[in-house]
Each structure stands twice: as structure tokens, then as C-alpha cells.
Structure 1
Amino acid sequence: MTEKNQPSNIESLSHRTAGALLAAAAGDAMGWMTEFIRSPDDLKRKMGVDRITEYQAWSKRVGGRFQGYEDYIAPGDYSDDTQLTICTAACIAPNGCFDYRTFCKFEYPMWLEYARGGGSTVKEAAEKIQRKSADWNSNFFTRKVKEGKIDYRDGGANGAAMRISPHVLANVGRWTQAEADIWRNSIISHGHPKAIIGAVLYGYALHTVLQWSEPTTGQDLIETIGQWIKQLEIPPISELKTWRIEWNQGRGETFENVFANTKQEAVEQLRLVWSALRQDESPESVLQKLGCLDRNTKGSGLGTAMAGIYLFARQPEQTKENIITAANMIGSDTDSIAAFVGGLGGAAFGLAAIPEQWRSQIQDAPFLIELGNHLAAISISKPDNVKIRPGTYGVKLGKPLSRQIAHDDMRVVHTRLGPGVIGELDTQNLLTQGRTVTILRLNFDSGQSCKFAFRSDSPSETLFII
């Protein structure tokens, strides 16, 4: 395997950073279609096919029993995995560092306004980070579940791993910086080492693949990651010390011990994957062993990141087939695993990793490509002037937007996402008698599109008429 700090020119690097974002979104969009499918019969009944191989329109009920509505999802639409990746990218400073203050104060909380999908922990963390006492390294919380409460420190799902790729894409060849920012980003929402190591593991896999100057074997990739993870340590970030002190309060086992045990689990999973590649085991068998098909562990940050790395390593040059394989692993966290394998394929082979037909269908594809180019420019220390989040700069604000006055083609501005136009407007009845919800799809000038739901006549605090 040939490695070097970064590809030799900006065109090559942009091709791969843009490819990583777009192919990850392609995986997210395809895997989202099957994320809530319970069986092959359920897939046939809901999607009309035995196996998902192409994008199609579908819908899902969102918003709870009494406030819920039908979210109509167009072919190629992405979920929270890609949305939060964009949120992270929007908070990468021109020097490649993570602007965690902007992420915590604006980007992450505002994502709740237009979130599509999103696990309970990720959403709860976005709510809790708005507390005056909270910061990126002190967002400890508990959330209620049927069985009682779940502590932030037990949050080991993949909500962190799914959003961290921009840290690597903006710091190609600079792993120390990327790793530190992956930690900073991850602990905003997740406190368990399964989530953190899963995020760092996927980040290092991306880092490694981006340095390839020519294709290599999947076994070589696993061996490289295996050597690295044995040396994995908690980074010497001063603010992590106070976080670890608080983490350890009232716990029977220290963070350091849990981290060491989880690291060993990752080592064992890499051995399992390496052996599976040598013996050509079936993907279903491997994902079963990784816990990805077990209801209790299917969303593990470590397990799902490992599954994505495995599926890529199994046949690195077959990104389309890898995404399809991941999306059809019914019972697993299909969208995140498919996004992981897609991201690695795009990082290795650029935009050509997925077929043109798919590229033309992915929601906001030109924006994602521009975002990849933007991160590449940062990576070579030649940041561009692209405004991912233009806000209201230079815009004269009119009345706050409310659903009574909203109409198709109306020009509006969001206090962070910037100017845009209402592209679609849909009103549905809620289960509560006499209540309705109005869903607006806004196409922002930046190139991103988002849906906002109005369940009352109250005006928005972040959207204004231009």
C-alpha cells in the first residue's frame, strides 16, 4: 500500500472529498428506505420489491401519536446522518479546526427545526446543549425511556460516528487534529466509549483511505487499522480532563477502564473481520457476529462503524454493490452502515464510486459536491470564500414567517441557513381533532434543502419573509 500525506493536487483531493460526502449520502438515502423494515415480507409489502437496488419514493409517520404526520420522502432524499454531517462541515474553521462553540450554540440546536430521522440520544443532546450550564465537554444528561432512564454516559450508539467525516476531509494527512476534533464533536452527544471509539475508528479508516495513491486490498486496510488501534489512547486535550472527572462521579467503573475494555473489543472485532475476509464469510454472518442484527446492539457506534469498514474492505472497488448489500441487511441500522461504506468508497475512488444515475438523484448533490470541494480547499490550507451558512447578512428582514401567510415560491431567510424559497407546501390533519400541520420544503440559495413543520399559527423565530 502506498501512502502519502495527501493527494498531489487540489483537483484529485476535491474529487475524493466530494466523493466521500456524496457516496455517504447515497448510502444514507438507500439505507434509510429499509431502516424500519422488519422482515423480507415487510419489505415486499411496503416497497414492492424483494431487494432494494434503486431509489424510490416512500413515506413514514413522524412526530408522535397525536402530533404525527406523514413525511413523504422523494427518491434519493437523505436523513439525519447526512444532515448532521453537513452541520459539522458548516462548523469547520478556515484552519481546519472544529468551531465547537458555533456547533453547540447554533448549528446543533437549530438542526432540530428540520431534522429528518434522528435517534433519541442525538435529539436529546441537541436539546440539552442549550442549557446555560452545558458546553461541549459538559453536556451530561439523562433521558426517559420505558424502562426508566438512560444516562448520557451509557450512550454508545452511532450518532457521533455518522457526522464526523468533515473533520477528516478538512485535515487530510493531519490525523492528530482530526482525531482531537472527532473527540470534541462526539462527546457533545455521546458519553460511552462505544460511540467515541466507533467515531474515531471510522475517522481513521477515512484518513487511511484518503492517503491511498492506488487501490489496495481490504486485508491490508484492516491490518493497518489493527496496528493503529492497539496504540489508541485518550488524547491529551486539557478540557477532556474535567469531562472525565465528571464522567467518573458516581460510577462503579471509571471511564478509563471502560475505554480500555471497549478498545480491546474493537481489537477483537478487527480480528474477526480480518478472518472473515480471508475465509470469504457471508456479510450476513459477519454482521451477526458484530451484533448489528441484534435488536439490543444494532445501533452500536463501534459495531456499525466496523460493519461499514468490513463491507468496504470486502470489495473496495464495488461501492454501489456495497451500499446495496448494507441497505438490504434487514434488521440492522441500514442507513448508517450504508453511509459508512459509501463514504469510504467515495474517499477511495471519488465521485465515480457511485453511478451517474444515483448521483443525479441524491438530494442536494451539487451542494454536497461544493461542500466537499470546500473541505478540500481547507485541507490544503487554501480556504475558499464559500458561505455554507450565510445567515441574514445583507438581507432586510420582513415579517416572521407563519403558516397563514406562507405560499409556494415565497422568498424567505433563515437566521443561519440563509435565504431561500418555499418549494413545496403540504397541510395534513393531526389526530387531535381540529388541528393541522403545515410542512414547508425550503430550497436555500446555498444549495441545501430542508423541511420545516408548523403545528400552530405562531410565527417562526428563525424564518423571516424577505
Structure 2
Amino acid sequence: MSDLRLKRTISSALWSAYADALGFPTELASDKIVQQRLGHSTITRTEPWKRLVGGRFGATVSLPAGAYSDDTQLRLATSRAIRGNGYFDVEAFAKIELTVWQAYALGAGRGSKAAAAALCNRSNTWFSNFFANYENGGGNGAAMRIQPHVWAATNLKDKASYVPDVIRNALCTHGHMRGIAGAVIHAVSLAHTFETGKPPSPEQWPDLADDIRAIPKMIAGDNELMTFWVPTWAQRSNQSLEDAVATVAREWEDSARNVASILMSRSLQNSTAVYEEVVKAENGLSTAERGSGLKCALFANVAAWISPQAGAQESIQMVANLLDSDTDTIGTMAGALIGAAYPDASYLGPVQDDIYIRDEAERLYGISQGRNTYSFSYPDMLYWQPPRTMIDILGIKNNHFHIDGLGDVNPIGAPFLGQKGTSWQWFLLSTGQTVLSRFRADLIAKAPLRKEPALEEMDTPDLFEQAMENKSRKLAEPFSVPTRAQVEVETIASDIPIRKMSSEILPKPVESHATDISPNHSRYSQEGQESREPLSLDDLTNEAIRGFDPQTIGRHILMLAEQPNAIELSIAYSAVVVKARSARLKYKNRNG
């Protein structure tokens, strides 16, 4: 049972990120816009594309295949804020993760951005973030990110073990009951899928209104919410919490029954047409309803319920190709359900940061089994203050690029130059996540010993191959494009404990230009089958640091000795393994 839950957790995490990436290019887009972005109007797998960031004075950036949006960004932020003992550090999530996220947000909605900006106010706490129009924020920005609370839950049958954290998470940014209820509905639906192996059926959807009605009881258990949030919210919204919850519960029941009647009376032979009919019937293509947290939770349940007949990949494609809908968010929520229900299903195309996503899923699974796992190292909240200007979140500290709150980062590729002194560039966090962050263009000139060319547009297919091509550069050059070995050594030696990272940080479909080592080594894949691809140095170190098995490490060194550049590869491999072993021993000693 435990092994099955681990598989469900990893699959749910990867599928949610994949569906986000597949729906990102088509999000709220017309046929013309999709054509401009992709060169065609239908998407069937993750692929490279270009997007304007930063508004009219921004830059057109290249996004590699598998690049995900704010949905997965905030899901990973939620995951990091869950401590190794299972405690959700909502203060760190609100005051650090959300504020810093503004520097690297991709495709973010206005409500979430406004909430994050308001949290930079030193007097605003996670439970007092009453910015302008907060009480009317009923969008899907909360529902899309709360899956980690379910993945880490120790008892999925006990909703009180995870729903209160879902509510705390949602209330940081969303003050309308539609946004909060959508998060609760999605969490309960995901827990049901983990427990039963299948998404809730249309007949069960109306009963989820009871979980909405339980929101006041869940809130009553939180002293900070009851003391400050509830009375302030009631005053600002001019209604009681119970009345607002009752209204949204009725809305859910009406919509769920309407959609269930449509599904029960239609053949699913043409699932795409049925899904489109459902979304249109609930005004999911209108500007007023398409971003609703409540409606997106419903549409995600629809897509997940259709998936046994349509297929997992086809169901996500169905969501991603319904233009003028919120494709990435509905997709990412449906992907979380589908991945949990069908852990052996495979998807088409790469997913950005898949190794890090898998790693976090394994960590949360460990928490769900009652184990103490490692925690992300946040700044001391007693002294932490968000930067007054968001563009200054990324700066230089001790001769390294540094993102406040998240630590040192390594630049990857060349920057994209915008207007008014603003640039964007891909950076690698020490956790293994990659972010496209904006910063002041003159920061490049201040970077000592930087040997990158002048600002220019990156060639996406070669974006991260430069790390392998430049592996002969010295570790002492702080702003050169890092090699794979450099990234491993610097990361594992940092204060943030990690277990493995990916050399294909923004992976490409099949081909790999990493150093080939062994054509017959078995690698864990999404399909759970063997891969006969050539093995990279990253694959060897990933395998070695999973268990530090002496025979495995010895075999690897003998394999490396047969390569043309044996000495260089062996040194890099040994450095990564030794640093990883040392970091893990230090962590175990600190934590008993």
C-alpha cells in the first residue's frame, strides 16, 4: 500500500506539472495567439515557444519544452513551506515564498500578484492580507497550488488533517468563498482519488458541498483566523462567514447537478465535444467565470472522470486545446487527479525540473508516512523583510547572484534585454528548480569576472547544453555558465539539503547532448520501464547518492575509466558523491 501511495504521489506531481506546461501556451488564448506562439493551433505535447513577459516594456523570451507556469511555481512554493515534520509554515509561505515569487512569476493572475505585492507590506501578515478587493478574490489561484497538503497528509480519511492547511494557504491570497471552496473541493477530490484509486464520480460531486459547509468549523480551530481574520472579513464583505459559505455551497450543488445531468445523458465517444459542452454550460469561457476557483475544480473533476474512456494524455490535451478557457489551471488540477488515479500512465514530452518535482514528491510522501524529512532553509522570520522594490529581489551577494529568501543562484544562458533597464534570465536554484527572473540590467556589469557575451536572445534548443560544453571552466569563476558537476558541488555544499538534481534542467524530448557513458544502464522513467538511452554523468551521480552503495560507486568509476576524458569525469563524479555524502552525514548528525 505504501509503495502504491508513493507511486501515486510522484505521478500526481509530475502529471500536474505536465498538464500545466501543456496548457500554458494556450491559456486564455485565441486561435490567432496560439498560432503566433506555436506555429499551429493544436498542442499535443510539450514544445518550445516564445512569450512576451513584463508587459509592453518587457522582453520576448524563449521557453523550452516543458516550461510550466505560476501554477506549478506556487505548488513548489507550497511544498517547500511544508517542513520536514509535516508542519505547514504558512508565515514563510506568505511572507517569503509569495513575495519573492513576484520576481520569477510566469503567467500569474492579477489577484495572486496583488496579494503577493500586499504581503510586502510589513504590517500585513498571512491572516491579515486585506488588500483592495481581497474579499472578492474568488479565482483559481489558490486551488491550483494546494496539492502538496494532500500528498503530505498522514491520514487521508481524516479531512481535518489536511483541509485546515488548505484553507490557511488559500486565505493568504483569496478572500472570496469561491476561491477558498474551490481549493477545498480539489483537495478533497484528490484525497478521494488517492484512497479509492479513481476520481469522484458525478453522482458524488453534489455531496462535496458538505465539505464547503465545513469551512467555518475548520477556521474555528485556528486562533489567529478567529481572532482577526473572521471579524475583519465579515466587516469588509458585509456578511457573515456562515452565510457566504452557504451561498457558495448551493452554487456548487447547482453546478455539480447540472454537469452531472449532461454527462449522464451523453455518450463519451466524443469526449472533447462533451467536455466543451460542459464548460460552455457553466460559462467557463466567459471572462466572469472561466477563472473561478469553484468552476475550475468542477471542470478538473470532469476531465479526470472522462479520462478512463478518453485516456490520460488525451484528456489533458482535451483541456489544453479548449481555447479561451483557463487551460493550464484546469489542466494542472485534472493532471493531479489523473496522475494519482493512473500512476502508470505516461505523457508526451518533457517536463521542466522533473527531477526536483519528483524529489519533492518523495519528500512529501515520507512525511505522509510519519518520517521526519529535510526542510528548506528559510531566513529567520524575526529579521526577514521583503525587498521594497521587487526588481531588487535578485541581486549580488558575496560575489554570487542571490535571490532574497531563496539563496544563491547560478545563471544559465544569456539574458533577455527588456526596456527601461530591465532584463530576464534563467537561473538555477540550489534546490534544483529553474526560474526565469527579472532584474536590473546594470547588474550584469557589476558581476565580477563575468565572461558571458553581451545581452542577447537565447537559442532555446541549446539553452542548457552550454553547461556541458563549458565543463572545463574553473569552479572559481563565479559567473560563468555552470557545468553539471559545478552545480552539483555548489548545491550539495549549500545550506539547503538536497538529494539529486537534473542535468537536463529544462529537458528536451528524447535527445541528450550530455556525456555518454553506458548504453545499457536501466533508468527509472515515467512509464516505469527501462530506458536504453546513453547515460550521463548526472545519471550516475543520481544513482550513486540514492544509497551510496560501494559496489555501485565502484562500477561507475570503472565505467568512467573507459571514457576518453576519464580523469575529468572521475574527478567530477567523485566530487559530487563525496560532497553529497558529507552533506547527508552532517544533516543526520544535526537531527539525531
Whole-angstrom distance in 2 between the partners of 1:179 and 1:15: 22
Q: Which residue identity does 1:53 align to in structure 2?
A: T
Could you tell me whether the CA contact under 8 Å between 1:155 and 1:192 is conserved in 2?
Answer: yes
- The structural deviation recorded for 1:447 is 1.4
1:57 matched residue in structure 2? 48
- The structural deviation recorded for 1:133 is 2.1
1:195 aligns with 2:179: yes
2:544 matched residue in structure 1? none
Greater length-normalized contact order (CA 8 Å, ≥ 6 residues apart): 1
2:145 matched residue in structure 1? 163
Across the two proteins, how many residue pairs are aligned to each other?
425
2:329 matched residue in structure 1? 336
The one-character-per-residue Cα deviations of 1:106-138 (angstroms, maximum 9, x if unpaired) are 111111121112111111111111223211211
Whole-angstrom distance in 2 between the partners of 1:164 and 1:80: 13
1:78 matched residue in structure 2? 68
The one-character-per-residue Cα deviations of 1:4-41 (angstroms, maximum 9, x if unpaired) are xxxx22x3222111111110111111111101422x35
Secondary structure of the residue aligned to 2:246 is helix
1:89 matched residue in structure 2? 79
Structure 1 residues 207 and 170: CA distance shift in structure 2, 3 A = same
Whole-angstrom distance in 1 between the partners of 2:307 and 2:366: 30
- The structural deviation recorded for 1:215 is 4.5
1:112 to 102, 105, 127: 102
2:258 to 254, 257, 272: 272
2:423 matched residue in structure 1? 438
1:383 aligns with 2:372: yes
Could you tell me whether the CA contact under 8 Å between 2:67 and 2:351 is conserved in 1?
Answer: yes
Structure 1 residues 218 and 382: CA distance shift in structure 2, 3 A = same
1:218 matched residue in structure 2? 201
Structure 1 residues 411 and 19: CA distance shift in structure 2, 3 A = farther
2:241 matched residue in structure 1? 255
1:284 to 276, 286, 289: 276
1:365 matched residue in structure 2? 354
Alignment identity in percent? Answer: 29
1:397 matched residue in structure 2? none
Structure 1 residues 277 and 414: CA distance shift in structure 2, 3 A = same
The one-character-per-residue Cα deviations of 1:405-439 (angstroms, maximum 9, x if unpaired) are 99xxx964545434442211224252xxxx44332
Structure 1 residues 427 and 228: CA distance shift in structure 2, 3 A = closer
Structure 1 residues 154 and 217: CA distance shift in structure 2, 3 A = closer
1:313 matched residue in structure 2? 305
Secondary structure of the residue aligned to 1:426 is strand
Could you tell me whether the CA contact under 8 Å between 1:391 and 1:414 is conserved in 2?
Answer: no
Q: Which residue identity does 1:280 align to in structure 2?
A: R
Normalising by structure 2, we get a TM-score of: 0.66
The one-character-per-residue Cα deviations of 1:206-242 (angstroms, maximum 9, x if unpaired) are 0110112x54773465366466556665422333323
Relative to structure 2, which stretch is displaced further, 307-316 or 243-252? 243-252
Structure 1 residues 33 and 183: CA distance shift in structure 2, 3 A = same
2:288 matched residue in structure 1? 296
- The structural deviation recorded for 1:186 is 0.6
Whole-angstrom distance in 2 between the partners of 1:429 and 1:230: 48
Could you tell me whether the CA contact under 8 Å between 1:427 and 1:438 is conserved in 2?
Answer: yes
Could you tell me whether the CA contact under 8 Å between 2:127 and 2:224 is conserved in 1?
Answer: yes
Larger radius of gyration, structure 1 or 2? 2
Secondary structure of the residue aligned to 2:140 is coil
1:207 matched residue in structure 2? 191
The one-character-per-residue Cα deviations of 1:77-115 (angstroms, maximum 9, x if unpaired) are 000000000000001123323111111221111111211
1:172-191 to structure 2, matched below 5 A, reads 172=154, 173=156, 174-191=158-175
Structure 1 residues 403 and 390: CA distance shift in structure 2, 3 A = closer
Whole-angstrom distance in 2 between the partners of 1:459 and 1:43: 33
Q: Which residue identity does 1:450 align to in structure 2?
A: V
Structure 1 residues 107 and 368: CA distance shift in structure 2, 3 A = same
Whole-angstrom distance in 2 between the partners of 1:402 and 1:380: 36
Whole-angstrom distance in 1 between the partners of 2:107 and 2:201: 32
RMSD: 2.9
Whole-angstrom distance in 2 between the partners of 1:98 and 1:402: 24
Could you tell me whether the CA contact under 8 Å between 1:218 and 1:312 is conserved in 2?
Answer: no
Q: Which residue identity does 1:306 align to in structure 2?
A: L
Structure 1 residues 129 and 343: CA distance shift in structure 2, 3 A = same
Could you tell me whether the CA contact under 8 Å between 2:26 and 2:327 is conserved in 1?
Answer: yes
